[in-house]
Chain A
Amino acid sequence: MGIHLPSLLPQMQEIGQALYERSLQVSAMIPKATNALHSTAELDHSELQSRIKKAGNRWPGAIPTEEALNLTFPPPTAPQSLHVIGADGSQIYPDRHAAAFYYLINIGSIVVSHGSGKAPTIEHESRLFFELEDLYDEADHPVQNAYVNLRRDVAEMKTLAERAETLAGEQTLAILDNSLLLWMALQTGGSISRETDRTLQQYLKLLDRLRSTKTGLAGFIDRPRSVSVLALIHLAGLPDDQINQETLRLTPFRGLTDRAIFTKLLPPGHRSALFISASPLNRDFRTAGHEVHFFYLNTDAKGTVVRVEIPSWVAQDPELLNRVHAGILKDCQTTGGFPYTLVRAHELAVIPPQERAAFEDMLQRTLLGHDLRPTQSQKALTKQLTGQRKQHRL
């Protein structure tokens, strides 16, 4: 039957009212949070670092750098010619109800050479994973979707590294439509921890390759929900003797995001100060020389504020940092504050339903050609049958 709309009507009223009230609360918090950011910026750097140390290893905040927290940085001049590489991926997850147990990763990438007037170069790469070692973890459990996501993230970074190597020596920016931190490595449930660790090491080696090509690497996060700078502001406002896990949790900025305060603070084209991610995952990145830094950036006149993550070797090289800042702005000019290369990389990577159906049909015919009788589970079959039922249009 689908969604029973009549039973949701009362909740529709509630959600509308709740979101309206929350928006009022959030709006009221913004001036307070902005003032708190300015106050935090006036604190002595060593005092702030001492508080961060007290907050412990699990504190999910933003670690300040030498740049004053409340400073904004205007757009640098973009290089006359700049190659911008974008990569994105999509996948078909393993499905035990399907005719065969496999998964597929599809990567799309593009290099736009700004200033050349030439058509960008595009590439697609699709890979099917069907060997037992691909499909089962060390404990013989079928791999989870999070692990497929992890492998997709690594494949995206591999594509960026390979394409950057072909442009070594030229002004290049590589943009990933994701966080640089391999978050999925924390979400694979630990059941394939050795494999996860191996994958993380592969990923870090790809960052080594990008560093050696002197590519400006950036992870682009649109509409970020992160609250790490707010966590820092909250920590800075706590009395020194009251810093503990409970007080750290009781933030007065609940419901607010970093993006909300930087939307007020950043003029179009400006970036925020640099921060370092305090995520536990960043320790592996720091050890490998790729500690993830980030800044917020207002990418267009409408006030689209995004989070940009960069490795330490970009953060510490003014030329690379400016290239990332100016290059992203240049790449966002025609696409409403989101990079053109990522729009196109996504378009190249996405698997539309009709292509997926064509692929599954091809797979079934291949199996039949090998005297196998591919059958879907009864559950999958009945879902297809009921899904084809025609319904009255609302």
Chain B
Amino acid sequence: MPESPKMIGRVTRCSTRGFVGAMQISENALPVFGSLCQAEAQGGRSYVVGLVYDISITDDQFARQLAALDEVPQEQIADGQLNRQVPVEFSALAVGFHDDDGFHQSLPPQPPLTLASVFSMVPNDAVDFTSELHFLQMILNAPQLPVDELLATSLRLSAQARPEEERERFLLQAGREVARLLAQDLTRLENILRGLRAKE
């Protein structure tokens, strides 16, 4: 049975270049750095494809007080993780969108709206989306992001979404595309390729 997308949060602020979502803390539902997600846009007629590049959990005085104790009862840890309205945010870079014609690797025509549902992308869709690699340029162009780590992690996760026998071929193809894009910057290229190899 194909895996159904898991809702991971709702959009709290957005632009065509990306969006920020908030959610309840639950380790199972927590998105992963470098993973793909989708947010509803245009009244449900399209989905913006995002690449998660940051997950942040803001602290507060009460959490700090409890954290400083030698021992915190399990009930209070569970309360802090599941009940308290601690602001947990994830940020995603827009790397494409999906409409009636399928996936496109360019900025979406409209951003998702506030409180739009954000879903993790199921492996089949991730394979479909990453069958083209134009989105790598969008990652490399993103300012002030941990671009090299993001790119390497994203490609590794995309490889894992594929059947085992296809993974190496995908990574080789992606490595070649990265080499083409970073032909003028061999230091970064080496860094990314090392990242791709590290956890193969």
Chain A: number of interface residues, binned into ranges:
10 to 19
Interface residues of A in 107-132 (CB under 8 A from B): 110, 112-114, 116-120, 122
Q: CB distance B83 to A119 under 8 Å?
A: yes
Is A59 in the interface zone, CB < 8 Å from B?
A: no
Contacts A117-B78, A118-B78, A344-B79 given: A334-B73 contact, CB under 8 Å? yes
Contact of A114 among B66, B73, B78, B83 (CB under 8 A): B73
Within 8 Å CB of B83, what residues of A?
110, 119-120, 122, 344
Is A335 in the interface zone, CB < 8 Å from B?
A: yes
Main secondary structure of the interface of B (DSSP, over half): helix
Q: With both chains docked as a complex, state the minimum distance between the C-beta of A206 and any C-beta of chain B, in angstroms.
A: 26
Contacts A117-B74, A347-B84 given: A336-B79 contact, CB under 8 Å? no
CA–CA, A326 and B149, complex, Å: 52
Is B65 in the interface zone, CB < 8 Å from A?
A: yes
Is B100 in the interface zone, CB < 8 Å from A?
A: no
Q: With both chains docked as a complex, state the minimum distance between the C-beta of A308 and any C-beta of chain B, in angstroms.
A: 21
Q: CB distance A334 to B66 under 8 Å?
A: yes
Is A343 in the interface zone, CB < 8 Å from B?
A: yes
Q: CB distance A120 to B75 under 8 Å?
A: yes
Contacts A119-B81, A119-B82 given: A112-B75 contact, CB under 8 Å? yes
Is B76 in the interface zone, CB < 8 Å from A?
A: yes
CA–CA, A119 and B26, complex, Å: 12
Is B69 in the interface zone, CB < 8 Å from A?
A: yes
Please, what's the 1-or-0 string for A323-355, where 1 marks a CB less than 8 Å from any CB in chain B? 000000000011110001001100100000000
Please, what's the 1-or-0 string for B34-66, where 1 marks a CB less than 8 Å from any CB in chain A? 000000000000000000000000000010011
Q: Which residues of A contact B (CB under 8 A)?
A: 110, 112-114, 116-120, 122, 333-336, 340, 343-344, 347
What are 28 sample pairs from A and B whose C-beta atoms fall under 8 A apart?
A: A110-B79, A112-B75, A112-B76, A112-B79, A114-B73, A114-B75, A116-B75, A117-B74, A117-B75, A119-B81, A119-B82, A119-B83, A120-B75, A120-B78, A120-B79, A122-B83, A334-B65, A334-B66, A334-B73, A335-B65, A336-B65, A340-B76, A343-B62, A344-B79, A344-B83, A344-B84, A347-B62, A347-B84
Enumerate the 9 nearest inter-chain pairs by beta-carbon distance, A residue then B residue, closest first: A119-B78, A117-B74, A119-B82, A120-B79, A122-B83, A112-B75, A119-B79, A334-B69, A119-B83
